[in-house]
Amino acid sequence: MKEIVGFIIFQLLDKAPVFLGLIAMIGLILQGKKTSEVIDGTVKTIIGLLVITVGSGTLLKSLTPVMEN
């Protein structure tokens, strides 16, 4: 049981997109949305956060040489 809880905490909740996807999923379930809407909203949240993370990382890498001068 300890290993399962450790896996959930350190492997799933440590990843921001998955954690926020779970929060979005819980919120949609509590609102009483249909299953398709819950899945759609959860996937959109996870993918959206991944896109923002990759985009901001790329922008930061491209601006770093300019900011050093």
Domain limits for position 39? 16-68
Question: How confident is the model at residue 42, as a pLDDT?
Answer: 96
Contacts 24+ apart (CB under 8 A), 1-7: none
49 contacts 17 by C-beta, under 8 angstroms: yes
Q: How confident is the model over 10-53, as pLDDT tens digits? A: 777 778 888 899 999 999 999 999 999 999 999 999 999 999 98
Number of independent structural domains in the chain: 1
Instruction: Kindly state the tokens that stand for 39.
Output: 């899945």
Report the range of poorest mean pLDDT among 1-5, 37-41, 52-56: 1-5
Q: Looking at the domain assignment, is residue 8 inside a domain?
A: no
29 within some domain: yes
pLDDT higher than 80, residue 4: yes
Quick check: is 55 in a domain? yes
Predicted pLDDT of residue 39: 97
Instruction: State the Cα–Cα distance between residues 69 and 64, nearest whole angstrom.
Output: 9
The answer as to whether 4 is a domain residue is no
Whether 6 is covered by a domain: the verdict is: no
